[in-house]
Structure 1
């Protein structure tokens, strides 16, 4: 098994990946999300591991667009509590730290802590990259905000744990694979679909009534523009039932009659929420 993720060693995606697959799995870091999809499509990776939603930052819209554009299937969802850690070179004294490097989202989530310590925020491309840069540098007054895994990978000191302001900060990930790599006996409990409505008043309501009719509890509904067709939108919906359930088969069959198109993005076990 070879699993692709966006980022470098120590990224939160890799941390969540290890929680799901175990530490023995082979991982491949990618520069961008579309590279993850390319590796899965080409067969160079058996699975991809992508973030799709964060309780603070919201939906990772790029990955929903990529799910829509690629012939892959979501086979699992994973939740990871985001616990930001202040890391520095070995031997750094906490009171000596004057600057902290990290992704802008992580800096914002730790702003209160940094302000209380009079530490200046320095935005970088990603959290793990910030840790790698600090570990490779010579400065002893510079730290990184990243995952605890980075301390192990880049041989760094942990100056303080859990420095984020919001303790419920959680990221949801999808595991993707080509349909031929979906395991036999794959169990499902949630389903995600994309659909485009017809053009008449109440078209979306008519589609949503189908979910109500078959008592399917929607956990997500979001629209995204279709770049090739300006001012037209595709809707992403997730509901709590697997694709093998009779009510789901009936609902999707009926949805295809009301919508211009319907694409099944995945059906997967319902993950345990972790807050």
Structure 2
């Protein structure tokens, strides 16, 4: 079973992949999110794991756009706590570190630690990439902020664990698959859809009342512009209930009558936060 993620070995996406599929899963890093989706659609990969939301940085809009435009289905969600680790070359000590490489988001999330230790921030393209860059250098005054897994992969010492300022930093990931490969033994407890309302006052309220009438609890509602249609928007919604439920089937039928379009992006078990 081949599973794709965006990034290189040690990325947080790979950690989320292992959390869901197990440590012995066959993981493949690719350069872009588009490649993850394209690889699953072409059957190069059996599954893909992509981030969709972070408790600090917010929604990963690129991946919601790809979900809308691709013939793909979400079969699981994974919540991954983001625990940033300060890594350095073997034999280095914290007092020596003058500079740290990492993704700009990670640097911001660790700014209090860096300020306290007077460490300069140097942005690079991703967290695991920072560790890989450092592994090719022969300096003990530079560190990388990345996952703990990167210490194992790139042969580094850990100089600090959980160095992020906000300890509740968590990323939500989706596991995606081709619709024809959905398991017959799936458990559906939560559903993600996209819909576009008609153009009249109160159209969104009318759509939301359908969920209220069927006692379906919304856990996410967010609008996104439609790139091909300036100033028009699509709404992404998560709600509790699986697509195998008669209540959900009826609600979606009514929503399709009220909205301009509805697309079910996935249905999956509730993951533990």
**Is the pair's TM-score, using the shorter chain for normalization, greater than 0.5?**
yes
CA deviation map 1:178-212 (0-9, x unaligned):
01111111001100000011111111110000000
Matches within 5 A, 1:20-31: 20-31=20-31
1:243 equivalent in alignment to 2:243: yes
> What is the match of residue 137 of structure 1?
137
The CA distance in 1 between the partners of 2:184 and 2:262, in whole Å, is 24
The CA distance in 2 between the partners of 1:15 and 1:185, in whole Å, is 25
> What is the match of residue 109 of structure 1?
109
The CA distance in 2 between the partners of 1:56 and 1:77, in whole Å, is 18
> What is the match of residue 15 of structure 1?
15
Secondary structure (helix, strand or coil) at the match of 2:172 reads: strand
> What is the match of residue 127 of structure 1?
127
The CA distance in 2 between the partners of 1:22 and 1:161, in whole Å, is 23
Secondary structure (helix, strand or coil) at the match of 2:215 reads: coil
Count of residues in correspondence between the two structures: 273
Structure 1: runs of 5+ lacking an equivalent: none
Matches within 5 A, 1:10-89: 10-89=10-89
Deviation at 1:53, TM superposition (A): 0.4
> What is the match of residue 98 of structure 1?
98
> What is the match of residue 207 of structure 2?
207
The CA distance in 2 between the partners of 1:144 and 1:261, in whole Å, is 46
Deviation at 1:40, TM superposition (A): 0.4
TM-score, normalised via structure 2 length:
0.99
Secondary structure (helix, strand or coil) at the match of 1:149 reads: helix
> What is the match of residue 160 of structure 1?
160
Deviation at 1:16, TM superposition (A): 1.1
Q: Give the 4+ runs in structure 1 shifted more than 2 A.
A: none
